[in-house]
Structure 1
Amino acid sequence: MKISTQFDSGSIEVVSAERFDDIQLKIRADNASEFTQWFHFRLQGAAYQPCVMRFLNTGETAYPAGWEDYNLCASYDRVNWFRVPASYDGNIMTVEHTPLANSVYYAYFEPYGWERHLDLIGEAQGSGLCQVTDLGTTIDGRDINLLTVGHEVSSDLKIWVIARQHPGETMAEWFAEGLLRRLLDWQDPISRILLEHATFYIVPNMNPDGSVRGNLRTNAAGANLNREWLSPSLERSPEVYCVQAKMRETGVDLFLDIHGDEAIPYVFVAGTEGVPGYSERIAELESAFKHHLELASPDFQDEQGYDKDKPGEANLSMATAWVGHTFDCLAYTLEMPFKDNANLPDDDYGWNGQRSLRLGEAMLNPIYAVLERLRAQQR
């Protein structure tokens, strides 16, 4: 029996792997911070053996509530992922699974690999509708790429979508892939009409270093990028610094920041109610956007989610608050579950990459619905 992690986003600590019925593991912290939640490892040599895996420190991780009613992800081929039942007693998560092959992968959520990320960029560029721009370089030397879809004329509305500020929230890049694929489909009438009036600026992976390193929440320097928007730096958070600079150059009329939530088993959004200058115009846009997203995807709901910020109490170091305040625009954080959507549960797959991708496709509908009202002078 062998457990390994030396691959893209691999992460686990092996305490003991001497017996199939007593595999003891610990979830490893991000490389330069104390955030602990993401895992991704390969188990070999255990075909048809009743394995019992105990994750000894789940009660001490960043989001202990994330393990309640959680089932982990598994795959034999790294393409098709399914859920394996788990139990959690408040301290230790226990997984009982009999692999049907000698090589099986387990992960906190269905991974989105760096090679797939590069393939997505290449495919988008090959469509003839997308320009790839290098905004800068991460601490580990990886590219910070922006995908621009549209005519880039001054009259265009500027729609920004960023994903995966927190690298372990891989559902965010699955979402970005779905949105991008539909946007580049010239046979789709909504895509065509959107691109007649808007230019899309999409960053499918805001945190390349953290993604490859197997971090949950931070980049190579230990920075939580979604707390860096007030004062990013090239030394600590070049990803935010470079994206912010481009935003100031283009302007922003609509902003979406795509995430995953560890504990809440629903799809929901968080807006900008707490920013200075929050207006009735933005409130009306938010309501219209949510209404049309509910129509476009039954996976979305607006009853469960985060508490709304009180007026003037928004944290402007977070992307949605900073962008909404800086550009006086409609701005939303979209959250998807690590567990399952409790409104539409799927025992075999839970919430997964394909469901995230489909939600990304559906997102074009509410964007289209509010398009003509995004700028105050266009009302």
Structure 2
Amino acid sequence: MSVTLPYITDNFDSGNIRVLDASDPENIALEIKQDKDSDFYQWFHFKLHNTAHIKHVMHIKNAGQAAYVEGWDDYQAVASYDREHWFRVPTSYDGQTLTITFIPEHDSVYFAYFAPYSYERHQDLIHSAQHHLDCQMQVLGQTIDGRDITLLQVGEVAEGKKSIWLTARQHPGETMAEWFMEGFIDRLLDEDDGAARALLNKAVFYLVPNMNPDGSYRGHLRTNANGVNLNREWQQPSIENSPEVYYVRQKMVETGVDMHLDIHGDEALPYNFVSGCEGVPAWDDKMHQLQEQFKATLLAITPEFQDDKGYDIDEPGQANLTVASNWVGNNFNCLAYTVEMPFKDNILLPDEIVGWNDGRSALLGRDTLSAIYQIVDDLR
């Protein structure tokens, strides 16, 4: 009996894998491609054909040199037959090789580092949002590859209203960030949601669901088409190297900022948490009070959030001002947080089938609107 050889491809939006050897279904050798002009890599996304009812053992050989090797510990890859429903699959890591073992039920299956958020879905998100009377879609500029840098302005500008900014997916492989934004936008535009309606009476929202569409489409983990880490560009962005930051920052200066959330994902930590800007020169008691108030509110709203585990707090005056939340917090003397979600599971509320996933990310986005509602009156 002959065995049909597996066929593996990454020739699609956000695809990333290199096939080294696929001659034996139970000993497939793969590696992840680096971001263009960069040493970063960790995001993978590929399709496996000719697969039904055959055991496949796929070894990602260069996992041990990835950007965040601690991210592989207790990690399970995700798979999908229809690109809508993603589930966790058996995955192991021996310190060098990440191994995925799976017997597909159908002829074709996708695998990814986390539930992908496609460029087409991004287009659907921003273009459906513009149908709402309170929403305007603005193109701030173009990326290196010529894609639009798109902003959604939600709410009518008026005297006394706050300016609240949410940016997401500076690091393109952190797809949970745009799932978060989808949930947030869906609720903010819900005319039957009292908290959303009340917020739009008090604030204008400036939303960038995808800061890095080039890196997203190219299947990068962390950089844009020039190999630039956008979240290290905020002090001196340029149209040549980091137009995404340049144009967004320019718009922030125009509108002012009373609150900023920059949405991310963390490879290693199995928690949802926030990272503040305590180390910026402009840090004061008001900023401290707002940070604590926001965290306390989010803790009360959802068990998916916690504040015991996270990043070390910067010493006074030692914050890295090339990072978005630090630059914004310092320049606008406002509440500015980096929001982090896990690639793994939320260990405090685990789900063995899906782990932390697209749906839970979207729900956290919806819950975050409630937290903003609780503090909007105190922002200035």
Fold agreement, TM-score > 0.5: yes
The answer as to 2:33 corresponding to 1:22 is: no
Which amino acid counterpart does residue 313 of structure 1 have in structure 2?
Answer: Q
Cα offsets for 1:149-194 (capped at 9, x unmatched): 0111232100000000000000000000100000000110000100
Q: Which residue of 2 aligns with 1:270?
A: 275
Q: Per the alignment, in what secondary structure is the counterpart of residue 126 of structure 1?
A: coil
Taking only aligned residues, the RMSD between alpha carbons, in angstroms, comes to: 0.6
| Aligned counterparts of 2:36 and 2:161: Cα–Cα separation in 1 | 41
Displacement, 1:295? Answer: 1.4
Flag as ranges the 4+ runs of structure 1 deviating above 2 A: none
Which amino acid counterpart does residue 361 of structure 1 have in structure 2?
Answer: R
Q: Which residue of 2 aligns with 1:323?
A: 328
| Aligned counterparts of 2:224 and 2:374: Cα–Cα separation in 1 | 35
Displacement, 1:62? Answer: 0.4
Q: Which residue of 1 aligns with 2:75?
A: 70
Q: Which residue of 2 aligns with 1:156?
A: 161
Q: Which residue of 2 aligns with 1:227?
A: 232
Q: Per the alignment, in what secondary structure is the counterpart of residue 167 of structure 1?
A: coil
| Aligned counterparts of 2:184 and 2:110: Cα–Cα separation in 1 | 27
| Aligned counterparts of 1:250 and 1:332: Cα–Cα separation in 2 | 18
Q: Which residue of 2 aligns with 1:11?
A: 16
Q: Per the alignment, in what secondary structure is the counterpart of residue 174 of structure 1?
A: helix
Alignment of 1:184-195 (within 5 A): 184-195=189-200
| Aligned counterparts of 1:154 and 1:248: Cα–Cα separation in 2 | 17
| Aligned counterparts of 1:297 and 1:244: Cα–Cα separation in 2 | 31
Which amino acid counterpart does residue 195 of structure 1 have in structure 2?
Answer: L
The answer as to 2:34 corresponding to 1:37 is: no
Displacement, 1:31? Answer: 1.6
Displacement, 1:277? Answer: 2.1
Q: Which residue of 2 aligns with 1:126?
A: 131
Q: Which residue of 2 aligns with 1:141?
A: 146
Q: Which residue of 1 aligns with 2:363?
A: 358
| Aligned counterparts of 2:330 and 2:313: Cα–Cα separation in 1 | 16
The answer as to 2:85 corresponding to 1:80 is: yes
| Aligned counterparts of 1:208 and 1:327: Cα–Cα separation in 2 | 26
| Aligned counterparts of 1:269 and 1:48: Cα–Cα separation in 2 | 43
Displacement, 1:46? Answer: 1.4
The answer as to 2:284 corresponding to 1:248 is: no
| Aligned counterparts of 2:113 and 2:198: Cα–Cα separation in 1 | 38
The normalised TM-score by structure 2 is: 0.98
1:332 to 328, 332, 337: 337
Displacement, 1:126? Answer: 1.0
| Aligned counterparts of 1:156 and 1:136: Cα–Cα separation in 2 | 26
| Aligned counterparts of 1:55 and 1:214: Cα–Cα separation in 2 | 16
| 366-375 or 230-239: bigger deviation | 366-375
The answer as to 2:161 corresponding to 1:173 is: no
| Aligned counterparts of 1:328 and 1:61: Cα–Cα separation in 2 | 36
2:287 to 263, 282, 285: 282
Which amino acid counterpart does residue 321 of structure 2 have in structure 1?
Answer: L
| Aligned counterparts of 2:239 and 2:159: Cα–Cα separation in 1 | 29
Which amino acid counterpart does residue 255 of structure 1 have in structure 2?
Answer: H
Q: Which residue of 1 aligns with 2:3?
A: none
Which amino acid counterpart does residue 234 of structure 1 have in structure 2?
Answer: I
The normalised TM-score by structure 1 is: 0.98
1:211 to 213, 216, 226: 216
Q: Which residue of 1 aligns with 2:118?
A: 113
Q: Per the alignment, in what secondary structure is the counterpart of residue 179 of structure 1?
A: helix
Which amino acid counterpart does residue 263 of structure 1 have in structure 2?
Answer: A
| Aligned counterparts of 1:168 and 1:342: Cα–Cα separation in 2 | 21
Q: Which residue of 2 aligns with 1:310?
A: 315
| Aligned counterparts of 2:56 and 2:26: Cα–Cα separation in 1 | 5
| Aligned counterparts of 1:172 and 1:89: Cα–Cα separation in 2 | 29
| Aligned counterparts of 1:183 and 1:298: Cα–Cα separation in 2 | 21
The answer as to 2:62 corresponding to 1:57 is: yes
| 229-238 or 120-129: bigger deviation | 120-129
Displacement, 1:81? Answer: 0.5
